[in-house]
């Protein structure tokens, strides 16, 4: 029973792209790690999508994955940091899930290497959903319609593994276009306050001091519509982002050596913002077919 629920959740994460109707750039991500992509049929996708938007999978019954990964904001969040189901603000900004199946590491600190590993994360006791995955599975098992859908699509009643599978297959995938990132971890000084880092980022995973304050370099694809920016959502607009880089980032012991004051003119700054705007995938249709 545990297995099946996770599988449906994994389907949820990889398939949002399937909702981008008419996108000529739509294609499957080269997602090597998932054994489930083989089963990314329309029906698995539909189940994953249902789970992704279903607040029943949370402790309060009010939070869905889509609360923080909102399709109206390219499966991201307008709030700087997320508010979990228990009402507590988190430390980090919810990244857009668009093209998440292409990312070699997940989370700002890269602590998960696959969507399967990640999908259990929101269901930890202190996780975003405020309920354990077994509780979530038990809850939707009470719904005859879900039971029917799970056994038709995954051949088993709802289980944690099925939920995870559903989400992964549903992950938004849109781009055949370059993603404008190498996904490496870099320190640009965000979150350094003079005394230290509020959030060690990659350093909390590797425990190496030189990684303190380094975070995964985000994709610039669609960046004009995926603010606010940085792992803590502290920069609200692209103008603020450019001003931050123009100033050379925020000095700290691990600052990436490529960051230095640039002395850009206003015209150059505007040009950069306009260029970033040109990376928006106009084929992306934010509203999924629900």
Pick between residue 108 and residue 244 the one whose CB is nearest to ligand HEC: 108
Q: Which stretch binds ligand HEC (CB under 6 A): 7-15, 30-38, 256-264, 266-274?
A: 7-15
| Residue 37 · residue 27 · CB < 8 Å | no
Applying CB under 6 A, which of residues 71, 76, 80, 122 lies at the interface with ligand HEC? 122
Q: Which stretch binds ligand HEC (CB under 6 A): 20-28, 105-113, 149-157, 258-266?
A: 105-113
Beta-strand pair 215-216/185-186: antiparallel
Q: Which stretch binds ligand HEC (CB under 6 A): 102-110, 140-148, 152-160, 263-271?
A: 102-110
In sequence order, what are the residues at sequence separation of 6 or more whose Cβ sits closer than 8 angstroms to the Cβ of residue 276? 220, 223, 224, 238
Residue 92 is a binding residue for ligand HEC (CB under 6 A): yes
Pick between residue 66 and residue 272 the one whose CB is nearest to ligand HEC: 66
CA distance 42 to 47: 9
Applying CB under 6 A, which of residues 20, 107, 214, 230 lies at the interface with ligand HEC? 107
Q: What is the longest distance spanned by two Cα atoms in the chain?
A: 63
In sequence order, what are the residues at sequence separation of 6 or more whose Cβ sits closer than 8 angstroms to the Cβ of residue 101? 13, 14, 28, 29, 31, 115, 168, 171, 173
Pick between residue 223 and residue 272 the one whose CB is nearest to ligand HEC: 223
Q: Which stretch binds ligand HEC (CB under 6 A): 65-73, 150-158, 185-193, 234-242?
A: 65-73
Helix (H, G, I), strand (E, B) or coil at 265: coil
Residue 84 is a binding residue for ligand HEC (CB under 6 A): yes
CA distance 11 to 31: 12
Residue 49 is a binding residue for ligand HEC (CB under 6 A): no
Q: What are phi and psi of 104, to 5 degrees?
A: -70, -25
CA distance 204 to 215: 11
Pick between residue 232 and residue 249 the one whose CB is nearest to ligand HEC: 232
Residue 108 is a binding residue for ligand HEC (CB under 6 A): yes
Residue 157 is a binding residue for ligand HEC (CB under 6 A): no
Find the binding residues for ligand HEC in span 163-182 (CB under 6 A): 167
Name the β-bridge partners of 197: 192
Residue 45 is a binding residue for ligand HEC (CB under 6 A): no
Pick between residue 153 and residue 272 the one whose CB is nearest to ligand HEC: 153
| Residue 144 · residue 34 · CB < 8 Å | no
CA distance 202 to 110: 7
Least gap, CB of 203 to ligand HEC (angstroms): 13
Pick between residue 93 and residue 242 the one whose CB is nearest to ligand HEC: 93
Measured between alpha carbons, how far is residue 178 from residues 175, 221, 280, 281 in Å? 7, 7, 11, 11
Residues that bind ligand HEC (CB under 6 A): 9, 12-13, 63, 65, 67-69, 82-84, 90, 92, 94-95, 97, 100, 103, 106-108, 115, 118-119, 122, 128-129, 167
């Amino acid at each position: 029973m545990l297995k099946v629920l996770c599988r449906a959740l994994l389907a949820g994460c990889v398939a949002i792209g399937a909702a981008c109707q008419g996108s000529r750039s739509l294609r499957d991500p080269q997602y090597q790690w998932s054994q489930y992509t083989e089963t990314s049929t329309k029906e698995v996708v539909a189940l994953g999508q249902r789970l992704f938007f279903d607040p029943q999978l949370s402790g309060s019954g009010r939070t869905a994955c889509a609360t923080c990964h909102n399709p109206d904001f390219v499966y991201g969040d307008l709030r700087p940091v997320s508010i979990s189901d228990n009402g507590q603000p988190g430390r980090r900004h919810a990244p857009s899930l668009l093209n998440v199946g292409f990312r070699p590491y997940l989370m700002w600190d890269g602590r998960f290497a696959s969507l399967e590993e990640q999908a259990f994360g929101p269901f930890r006791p202190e996780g975003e959903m405020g309920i354990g995955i077994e509780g979530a599975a038990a809850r939707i098992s009470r719904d005859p319609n879900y039971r029917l859908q799970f056994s038709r699509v995954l051949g088993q009643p709802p289980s944690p593994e099925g939920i995870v599978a559903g989400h992964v297959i549903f992950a938004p995938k849109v781009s055949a276009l370059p993603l404008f990132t190498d996904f490496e971890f870099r320190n640009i000084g965000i979150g350094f306050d003079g005394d230290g880092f509020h959030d060690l980022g990659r350093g909390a995973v590797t425990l190496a001091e030189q990684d303190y304050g380094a975070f995964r370099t985000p994709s610039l694809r669609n960046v004009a519509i995926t603010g606010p920016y940085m792992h803590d959502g502290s920069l609200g607009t692209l103008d603020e982002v450019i001003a931050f880089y123009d100033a050379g980032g925020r000095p700290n012991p691990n600052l990436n050596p490529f960051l230095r004051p640039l002395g850009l003119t206003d015209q150059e700054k505007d040009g950069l913002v306009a260029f970033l705007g040109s990376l928006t995938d106009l084929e992306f249709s934010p509203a999924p077919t629900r």
